[in-house]
Copies of this chain bind each other. A is one copy, B any other.
Amino acid sequence: MNLETSLCGIKLANPVILASGILGVSRSLLSEVIRNGAGAVTIKSISLEAREGHKNPTVIAFDAGLMNAVGYSNPGTAGAKKEFTGLKGLGAPVFASIIGQDASEFEKVAEALGGLEFSAIEIPLSCPHTPGFGTLAGQDTPEKTHEIVRAVIKKTKLPVFVKLSPITRNIGDVARAAEKAGASAITAVNTMGPGMIINIDAKKPVLGFRMGGVSGPALKPVAIRCVYDIYESVKIPIIGIGGIMTGRDAIEMMMAGAKAIGVGSAVHYRGMDVFKKICSEMSEWMYENGYESFDGIIGAAHG
């Protein structure tokens, strides 16, 4: 089965993309992920200055998914410029992910990473557990979304993906605001919640930041619904993320309206070769059901 697809003019060998914040700290790890079958990879989000993030524990796994409050640790634009060189040599497109506390910070980061060989820039306006960023900074309103997208677009010629939060009400409106402002695609969704897990023997929340974003199986139905809503609201392509574990999950996300899908937590449950596994499971299902491309699949659950 040929799983080739394209996203905003970017060619992908398959639609399974590494989500931001999982493994994406180094060029070599991105290369490993590509070797394990990802059609494209996203780096861990980069801010203007280096950030240490929250204290440990920062990532835990509970019954129904993962929870994290990494807190956007990253080496800043300076570190990123050293790390992410020669990306064209990796064999698959690499997407930048950039964050800022306001539109002007977003601008600066976009500009700083301009010289690198990224294929697109993703802007998450949706982290639920880092003060100053994402939903805690109100970046998920239609107004702020519009403002930030405009600012980034001024500074880059690359396609801009806007990453939304599942906790945003009327997510379709925000997607529309992003589209109007010139975004090339919507990435949906970031982690949910935030949630909290308390260790009752210690009488303390486990995460260093006390609360964190929920991903994995717990998030999947909410992510599917978000993508379904967004698909009814915009014409630009959607990268569907949230709890995708299997080829069937990926097809489900596409039927909700996603053109490509992102995978994060599944790396924990199924190993780094989950990308290959998902692709072969997709192929198998498509073969068995007589599909030769994603044409009859994307958005099929609508109407």
Contacts and interface: CB of A to CB of B under 8 A. Distances in A.
Contacts of A220: 62-64, 195
Considering residues A67, A210, A221, A225, which has the most beta carbons from chain B within 10 angstroms of its beta carbon?
A221
A193 interface: yes
Interface in A136-168: 167
Considering residues A63, A65, A197, which has the most beta carbons from chain B within 10 angstroms of its beta carbon?
A63
A211 B195 contact: no
B222 A214 contact: yes
Given A64-B64, A169-B167, A221 B195 contact: yes
Interface size class of A (residues with CB under 8 A): 35 or more
Contacts of A195: 220-222, 224-225
Q: In the assembly, how many copies of this chain are there?
A: 2
Contact of A252 (B67, B200, B216): B200
A74 B175 CA distance: 36
Considering residues A196, A219, A220, which has the most beta carbons from chain B within 10 angstroms of its beta carbon?
A196
Interface of A is mostly: mixed
Given A203-B255, A218-B65, A218-B218, A225 B169 contact: no
A57 to B, nearest CB: 13
A193 B205 contact: no
A224 B198 contact: yes
Given A64-B64, A217-B64, A255 B200 contact: yes
A67 to B, nearest CB: 6
A1 interface: no
B198 A252 contact: yes
A248 interface: yes
